[in-house]
Amino acid sequence: MHSPSSSLNSNQWFVCPQPNPKAETRLFFFPYAGGGPAVFNKWAVDLPANIEARIAHYPGRGSRYNEPPIKELAVLVEKIFQTIQPLLDKPFAFFGHSLGGLVAFELARTLHQNNLPQPTALFISACDAPHILDHHLLLHNLPDAQFLTSLKELNGIPAELLNQPDVMQLLMPTLRADFELIETYRFAMTSPLNCPVLVFGGLDDPRVSRERLEGWAIHANAHFELKYFPGDHFFIHTARKSVIAEILSVLDSTK
């Protein structure tokens, strides 16, 4: 079994917008490509008093902007695995959107392989099932202009960021690294997860098809459910309240 490394700090890797030592459950959020902890700040405010939010903070963004972004999913998951262990002292659940869904899934698998506690629920949002990821389209090596055009076409980055060229220029190395993470990832089959797996999709998401969302079923040993919300790839912003209500209803039922 791995042991948590003293050189990796839980507080650096997980932002806690509203610390709540009395919370019964921790809900970990894993952002999408290019996303920092700020993308889930509003969510933390909407959670009831018995749930504490912890938001994964990948290097290369936010207050970790000066750190080089990680380009391999296995490396990112291993570092998160090392730092999350002290935070697993009470029931917990994972929610990951797009790239974050892949991170949350691989992290749950790593915990399982090391005989560590499992999430009470794994929420995967707007993310292709890992065994049918689309590797035909490699974006991370494209020249800047083509890279940005492709991101717009794929609906891979929120419009408010794409419309700020200065911000996009600063974010470019991190975005490339995040897309490299996804595009170089290769799934290796192991036994399905024993925790409930709940998959969320946007009804008008041009990027993630229904078939690729339904594919998650084979990775769930216990309960599997697929729910759709109005909106595109970023329905989690426009339908946030509905998504949170669904998460809370599931967490209530797993107690």
Q: Is 204 helix (H, G, I), strand (E, B) or coil?
A: coil
Q: Between vectors from CA 136 to CA 134 and to CA 138, what angle results, nearest 5°?
A: 100
* pLDDT attached to residue 137: 67
* pLDDT attached to residue 4: 43
Locus of tokens 């917990």: 92
CA nearest to 113, candidates 217, 218, 191 = 191
Distance CA 65, CA 63 (A): 5
Q: Strand locations in the chain, DSSP E?
A: 14-15, 25-30, 51-56, 92-97, 122-125, 197-202, 224-229
Instruction: Delineate the domains of the chain, giving CATH numbers in brackets.
Output: 10-133+189-253 (3.40.50.1820)
Rg (CA), the chain: 17
- The answer to whether 47 touches 244, Cβ cutoff 8 Å, is yes
Residues classed as catalytic? 98
Distance CA 214, CA 197 (A): 11
* pLDDT attached to residue 134: 65
Using CA of residue 12, residue 87, residue 108, residue 31, what is the dihedral sign?
negative
Distance CA 10, CA 14 (A): 6
* pLDDT attached to residue 97: 97
pLDDT means per 10 residues, the chain with 255 residues, are: 50 92 96 92 93 96 92 96 95 97 97 95 96 74 83 74 81 90 90 94 92 95 95 93 97 86
- The answer to whether 54 touches 43, Cβ cutoff 8 Å, is no
